[in-house]
Amino acid sequence: MMPSTIKGIYKNGQVILEETPEINGPAEVLVTFTGDVVLRKALNPLDITERIKELSLLQDGWLNGEGMAPKKEELQWFSNIFESCYDTALPLPYLYPAVNGGVQAEWVNGNYDVSLNVDLKNKKAFYQALNHTNDHVDEITLDLVKREDWQLLNTKLLTVLKA
């Protein structure tokens, strides 16, 4: 009996990646920022270490010829400081590259949209939380080298994400 669908990835009408029996369990297909297609074991899309590795593959011009690539050593610094200072009781953010070579972290929780724009070069971040119920915006600039600023970030996130 023929399957009703063919599992795979198609590009311009041609199969460029078919389901492979070598991969046991769920897998995901990732189209990277560089346009490469990668098949890998399913990972938590919020896995910070893996996401940092993906961001480190970017090259200048990653966004339609624009966009600075984050520097690998700055990404590694952020990964290390995040791992040591971010409260593990909090949900992990989605990480995205920023056009200026930084990183943007985003959290969504019902009534709030929260973002943290990270300036990797200067080790600073701009936190913004928008409350959709009353349009109140909470903003603060953080020095990511200072532990007390990480504590402040964790407290703010705990307040809005657990609300």
User: What is the pLDDT tens value at each position of the chain, 163 positions in all?
Assistant: 333 333 444 444 444 444 444 433 344 445 555 555 544 444 566 788 888 988 999 999 989 899 999 999 999 999 999 999 999 999 999 999 999 999 999 998 889 999 999 999 999 999 999 999 999 999 999 999 999 999 999 999 999 998 6
Q: How far apart are CA 146 and CA 143, in angstroms?
A: 6
- Residue with token string 């402040």: 152
Helices then strands, each counted (H, E), the chain: 3, 9
pTM tops 0.85, yes or no = no
Q: Does residue 109 lie in a domain region?
A: yes
Let me know whether 59 and 130 are in one domain: yes
Q: What's the pLDDT score for residue 109?
A: 86
Q: What's the pLDDT score for residue 44?
A: 62
Q: What's the pLDDT score for residue 147?
A: 97
Let me know whether 79 and 100 are in one domain: yes
DSSP assignment letter at 6? -
Q: What's the pLDDT score for residue 119?
A: 98
Q: Does residue 2 lie in a domain region?
A: no
Q: Give me the domain span that covers residue 77.
A: 48-161
Q: Does residue 97 lie in a domain region?
A: yes
Q: Does residue 114 lie in a domain region?
A: yes
Q: What's the pLDDT score for residue 36?
A: 55
Let me know whether 92 and 120 are in one domain: yes
Q: Give phi and psi for 17, each to the nearest 5.
A: -155, 120
Q: What's the pLDDT score for residue 27?
A: 46
Q: What's the pLDDT score for residue 108?
A: 83
Q: Radius of gyration over alpha carbons of the chain, in Å?
A: 19
Let me know whether 157 and 80 are in one domain: yes
Domain count, the chain: 2
